[in-house]
Structure 1
Amino acid sequence: MSVFLSQEKERRRQHLILLKTLENRKKQEERDKLREEKEKERKLLAERRLVQRQHEIEIARQLQRPVEDMELTDHKGITKLGQKISDIDITPTLLSEVLRIFIRCRNGGENELTKCLLDDPLEALNPTYKAKILAFLCDELVSSRTITSEIEHNIDSINNMRRDKWIVEGKLRKLRMTQVRKFHKQNNKVTGDEGESTNMSTASKRSEDDIAKLDDLEEKEIDSGHESDSTTATNHTGGNLSEEEDDITLEECEKKIEKLTKQHGNYRNKVNNASIKLRTVPYGEDRYKRQYWVLPYCGGMYIEGIESAD
């Protein structure tokens, strides 16, 4: 009987061990299966991200192509003989035809302007069509990369020339203040007669004229919107000149003033010549509210009026 019980216990123990082993094996298989599924999901997610990234790069490249080059040959931008309009010498006789081909090329087809240029030359068109053609050309120029880059380059060069002019102006102002303060005091010590008062009045009048000229120059620069830069340039150069006040003579001071005046005039002329390339000169308006403009490089006077004006 005892042997039978011991065998039964051993059998149950072996059975429990087998069950635990099977259970552990089943859990291990489930863990392996779950790990494989997660690995597959991670790979699928990485592949999806890669495909999406490639798709976004391709879309960005396709969107950039029209900006760079469409790689399309435009056969409408040439004459019937196959000659490009950029190779044609523009003369008064060919101006209307070249303008018609250019407008057709830019619009991608015929429109009202090209049809009117096909029938009549540019000189024979009425003011309405001429204004439309002028507006079209202005829009093309404004949107041109070459024109905009040239305008930005001119603006930078004008700002640099103005900064140099302000530096020279600050030195000139400092020298004239030194001349008035130092050498007029010396004249007071040397001369004690009536001639002293005459010299002082002449010198003071001269200094007042110089200061008035400088004030006029400052007023001309106010509209540029860079008064702070001018003040900075003046303060920057003032320290070097104050150290030389005690050693400078009247002749040296006058020579430096004359030299700086010439430099200031040269910079002012350069700034004016560069500014007229970018800006028109307004001449005011009349009683009909028509604006008068002068374009320095176009010649003549241009009148801007309201279409509904009497």
Structure 2
Amino acid sequence: MDQFYVYVYKAKKAGSIEIKRRNKTIEVKKDDVFYVGKGKGRRLNKGSRNVECERFIKIFGKNIEKVKEDLTEEQALAYEHELIQEITASGKYLTNVLAGQSSKELDSSDICIIKYLYKLKTTNVIKISEDDIAYELGLYRAVISRIIQQRDTTYASYPALCPDNIVHYLNKYKRDVYSEIKYCLDLIDNGVLNMTQTELGTYFRIEPTTISTIKQGDYIPIPPSKTFLARLLRNHDNKETPSIKGQMKYIMDELLKEANITLTDIHERIGAKYALNYAFFIDLKRHYQGGYVEPTTEMLLDMMALKIEKNQKYVQKIS
């Protein structure tokens, strides 16, 4: 059975609202439809819509009504578009049509911008919905869906091009990165992700010290995008992994018992040989909670060589 449906928001009470960009005041009657949408599951009750729709809800309240059910997604998009056309043709105002435009006024630059914004969304650069894109460009959300989901080959040849006002999108739709990091840190603590805080920082391009601050802060954990989270899980699941952390933890703790050996010495003499940066040892010292793993013979020889070298230098210094 198909699960998609088309729904509407109706005003709970009558009143008026000023639409500034159209320089007019609109009278709304009780039960007037002011938003048309399509969805599945609990979509009609979840999340927010575009800014103008939310203004209408705040002023008039909303009653939600499913107008057609048991549709494929294609059928739901088509009926949503048809219903929007029908209601706007009768002179009623819908918050779906945000700049008085229709899909017939879509131009090539809009298509390129839509594709570019969607690319930024899927690569986890900005957090923007189809409703948001519709609001920004003054188009039907159904049109945005058709372009993004590539349901119409008409748009296939258009490239994704950066809009001139890209700074606006980066500022307005920036991700809550710290909350996403907090979410990932919780996965690490719960054993879902097998990685260090330093490794997590490389994914977000954030310094290890900042990651530590986020861990201690009162940020609300928010999941990152599905694509980004899937990449983390694939690369850092809890399967059998190389034991370098446990091995280096043993070597580091043994060497730091020597008064004349520092973490910098361990990094420069041993870490560099195994392509481990200084941040790796800092993270290992502060956050690693796993057990020791027996080092290889070569690692033990490196450890002993460093001990001997430092002790000889120490003896020479005091002689």
TM-score, with normalisation over the residues of structure 1? 0.25
Larger radius of gyration: 1
TM-score, with normalisation over the residues of structure 2? 0.25
